[in-house]
């Protein structure tokens, strides 16, 4: 399947561990030495402007499947992103500026 980055940004990102929707892809981290995507950044807002404070970094290796309607990722069950931390009531841990 061939896909454009603009199409990828419109897909829901779903965590397969628990089935919770994380948000939408807002940015990418690319290794310029080998030309591969290393990670994606996800925010709750569709077409959201990248903001390190509201975005969650998901390593490319954690992406399980890119389908027609959604991107499935496999993150640990205790994973909780900044925007939903207060809503879901999970304990937050800060590691290098990102919550995991």
Rg (CA), the chain: 13
| Chain segment 3-30, per-residue pLDDT in tens | 888 888 888 999 998 888 999 998 899 9
pTM over 0.75: no
- Ordered by where they begin, the domains of the chain are 5-94 (2.30.30.240)
* Helix locations, 9-92, DSSP H: 82-88
Q: What is the mean pLDDT of the chain?
A: 76
Q: Which of 42, 49, 52 is nearest to 75 (CA)?
A: 42
């Amino acid at each position: 399947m061939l896909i454009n980055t603009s199409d990828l940004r419109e897909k829901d990102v779903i965590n397969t561990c628990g089935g919770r929707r994380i948000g939408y892809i807002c940015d990418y981290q690319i290794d310029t030495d080998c030309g591969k995507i290393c990670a994606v950044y996800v925010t709750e807002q569709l077409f959201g402007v990248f903001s390190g404070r509201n975005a969650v970094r998901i390593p490319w290796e954690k992406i399980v499947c890119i389908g027609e309607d959604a991107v499935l990722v496999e993150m640990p069950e205790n994973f909780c992103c900044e925007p939903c931390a207060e809503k879901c009531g999970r304990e937050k841990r800060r590691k290098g500026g990102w919550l995991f």
